[in-house]
Amino acid sequence: MNILLYHFGYRGDILVVGQNFTRELKQRYPHASIDLMLRPRMQVAQDIIEPLGLYARFLYGEKQDYYTRKDEYDLAYIIDERVYPEGNLRTIFTHAGIPFRQHKLSLVTTREDDELADKVIQHFKRPIIATQEDMSRKWPKEKVDELWERLSQIGSLVICGPTYTLPGCDRPLTFREAAALFRKADIFVGFDSGLAHAAALVGTQTVLLPSVWPESWIAQTEYANPFILNENEKHISLRPPQSEFCGHYFCLRSTKSGAIARHCGDMLHVRCVWKKRWGMFKDTCCFSKISVDTFFNTVKAALESRGLL
C-alpha cells in the first residue's frame, strides 16, 4: 500500500501533528510506504523529519500538486490545511474516519548536533534555562524583558534563535542543533512554537504560554505528559487569571467552512469578546494578562521541585 500525506503546516506542526498521524498509519498499515509532501517553503523541515525514519520519500509542491499526484496512491490525506473545533491533533483523525490515539513522539538529533551542543553547554552554569529569542512575538516585550532579567538571576539563560550566536559556535544554531542543546538544558521557557515542541520532544521540561485555544489541541501537556511518569518533570502550561478567563474561548472565530479563523491562537492579536471595556470595546486577550510573577514563580517552583535550585 502507498500513502501520500500533504502537510500544510510549519515545523512544529509537522513534528507533532504529522508525526502522530503517521505513527497511527504505521500501526494500521505496517507494510505501507508513506510519502510526505510539504510546501516548498518548508524544505528545511526535511532535515528535522527525515531522521525519524517514517517516510519513504519527501516531495514538495503546492496544493494543486498534491491533487495532481494523489490518485497515484491508495490513500491520501491533507494535514493542517484547516483546523476544526476538535483541534490540530484530532482534526486529521476526524477527517480520516479514524478514532484518535496519542502516540509517543520523538525528535532525533545527529552525533554532530550533540557534539556541538556539548561544546556550547559547557560555557554555562546550571541550572540552565533555555528560551527562544522571539518571545515578544506573542507576549508583550516589556514582560519578556523583565522575565528574562529575573530568570538570569536564578540560572543561566540560554537564548536560541536565528540571530543569536552562543559561546562555542560562531553562527546561530540550526533548529536540530537547538533541539540537541535543549536536551542538555534543565528547562525550556517560551510559548507555543516549533522550538517549544522541539524541547518537549527531546525530553526537556517546558513552561509555556499556550496559544489561545484548548489544551487538547496541540499542547505538550496533552501529547507528552501521558508518557512522563515523574510528576515534577511534566510540562506546564500557564493559564490566565481566573477572573479574566471566560472559560469557553469565546474569542475563537469560525470561517464559513466551520474551521477556526486565522490568528485565533495569537494572544497579541486576539481580542476578548467576553470582557468589554465600558461595555462596548473588546478587551485585550486574557492570556496576554498572565503576569511576569506568575511565569517566574512557576519556573522557579518547577526547578525547586526537581532539586535544581
Count of C-beta atoms within a 10 Å radius of residue 289: 18
Alpha carbons 74 and 72: distance in angstroms, whole number: 7
- 134-171 pLDDT per residue, tens: 999 888 899 999 999 999 999 999 999 999 999 999 99
157 shares a domain with 45:
no
Q: How far apart are the first and last CA of the chain?
A: 53
41 shares a domain with 158:
no
**Which of 64, 96, 128 lies at the terminal end of a domain, its last residue?**
96
Query: Worst-scoring range by mean pLDDT, 37-41, 44-48, 285-289?
Result: 285-289
**Which of 68, 96, 124 lies at the terminal end of a domain, its last residue?**
96
300 shares a domain with 187:
yes
| Cross-sheet strand order for the sheet of 57-60 | 57-60, 33-38, 2-7, 75-79
Alpha carbons 56 and 208: distance in angstroms, whole number: 34
> What range does the domain containing 254 cover?
240-289
148 shares a domain with 296:
yes
- For the chain, what is the mean pLDDT? 92
Q: Does 228 map to a domain?
A: yes
Q: Does 85 map to a domain?
A: yes
Query: Worst-scoring range by mean pLDDT, 72-76, 121-125, 248-252?
Result: 248-252
200 shares a domain with 137:
yes
Largest CA distance in the chain: 62
Chain-centroid distance of CA 175 in Å reads 13
258 shares a domain with 119:
no
Q: Does 81 map to a domain?
A: yes
Q: Does 187 map to a domain?
A: yes
148 shares a domain with 227:
yes
Contact 205, 233 (CB under 8 A): yes
301 shares a domain with 278:
no
The predicted pLDDT at position 281 comes to 61
186 shares a domain with 64:
no
The predicted pLDDT at position 104 comes to 97
**Which of 32, 62, 96 lies at the terminal end of a domain, its last residue?**
96
Alpha carbons 71 and 110: distance in angstroms, whole number: 36
- 172-210 pLDDT per residue, tens: 999 999 999 999 999 999 998 999 999 999 999 999 998
Q: Does 104 map to a domain?
A: no
Query: Does residue 127 have a cis peptide bond before it, meaning omega lies within 30 degrees of 0?
Result: yes
Position 234 pLDDT exceeds 90: yes
E strand spans, 176-241: 187-191, 206-209, 236-237
Q: Does 123 map to a domain?
A: yes
The CATH number covering residue 72 comes to 3.40.50
Phi then psi for residue 196, to 5 deg, are: -65, -40
Cell of 92: 486529521
154 shares a domain with 298:
yes
Residue 279 burial (10 A CB sphere; 0-12, 13-18, 19+): exposed
169 shares a domain with 80:
no
Q: Does 103 map to a domain?
A: no
Task: Output 171 or 263, whichever has higher pLDDT.
Answer: 171
75 shares a domain with 197:
no
Cell of 108: 532525533
The CATH number covering residue 141 comes to 3.40.50.2000
The number of domains in the chain is 3
The one-character DSSP state at 301 is H
Contact 171, 165 (CB under 8 A): yes
Position 214 pLDDT exceeds 90: no
Q: Does 152 map to a domain?
A: yes
